Amino acid sequence: MSERAYDIESRSFKIIEAEVGKHSYDSLEWSVVKRAIHSTADFDFAGSHGIVFGKDVFRSGFDAIRNRCSIVTDVEMVQVALNKSLISSLGLKTVCNISNEAVINESRVLNRTRSEVAMRYSVQDIAGGIVAIGNAPTALYETIKMINEQTAIPALVVGVPVGFVSALESKRELVMTKIPFISNNGRKGGSAVASSIVNAMMLLYQQTQSGF
């Protein structure tokens, strides 16, 4: 990051801190929430649509990163927004099967969404990995289904699909699982939110790995 870019980011974080004021997040959680706000300029992610953390997400997420896990995304917009420098330095890989020809063909034959089928095609990478869903509630539902079936147990699910149909409901189902998760209240979400959360997790791991 250039000195000018770092200065802009630093000033942005100071504005966020000042405008949010007091909050209930601990230091690790706030680092994630702050980056989600930074990526969207939406203060609701610390308010009515606030980001929620469940079931020891940092230990589980950090362990997955330490083990050089895969990061599986629902759409390419999330995948391309992940910090490539961090991905490389931490020895991770990203996976998105939404444009896989086999996925496209199977979704047509089975009359299922590409997002659902893509998650099934990613089963080996989901097991022990990090799943980041910012757009497709059907991808989140399918991930939850695989968890309940014990087909694939991820280390962490970042489930922040955006929209009016099933986005809120799929998040509520995620909260009911026994898997560490990061989600948010309400219909808001999206690629920028999902990728910023994963980027924050990687950066926090890099910063804290020596003493966590």
> What are the domain boundaries of the chain?
52-208
- With the CA atoms of 108, 111, 114 and 115 taken in that order, what torsion angle do they form, in degrees rounded to the nearest 10? -170
Q: Provide the whole-model pTM.
A: 0.92
**Secondary structure (3-state) at 95:** strand
Q: How many CB atoms lie within 10 A of CB 37?
A: 25
Tell me the pLDDT tens digit for each residue of 59-90. Answer: 999 999 999 999 999 999 999 999 999 999 99
**How far is it, in rounded angstroms, from Cα 207 to Cα 155?**
20
Residue among 57, 67, 194 at smallest CA distance from 129: 67
Q: Is 27 exposed, middle or buried (0-12, 13-18, 19+ CB in 10 A)?
A: exposed
Tell me the pLDDT tens digit for each residue of 105-117. Answer: 999 999 999 999 9
For the domain 52-208, what is the CATH code?
Answer: 3.40.50.10230
Give the catalytic positions in this structure: 38
**How far is it, in rounded angstroms, from Cα 67 to Cα 171?**
27
Tell me the mean pLDDT per 10 residues along the chain, length 212: 65 89 91 94 86 94 97 97 96 96 95 94 96 96 96 97 93 95 94 97 87 49
Please check whether residue 107 is in contact with residue 117, taking contact to mean a CB–CB distance below 8 angstroms. yes
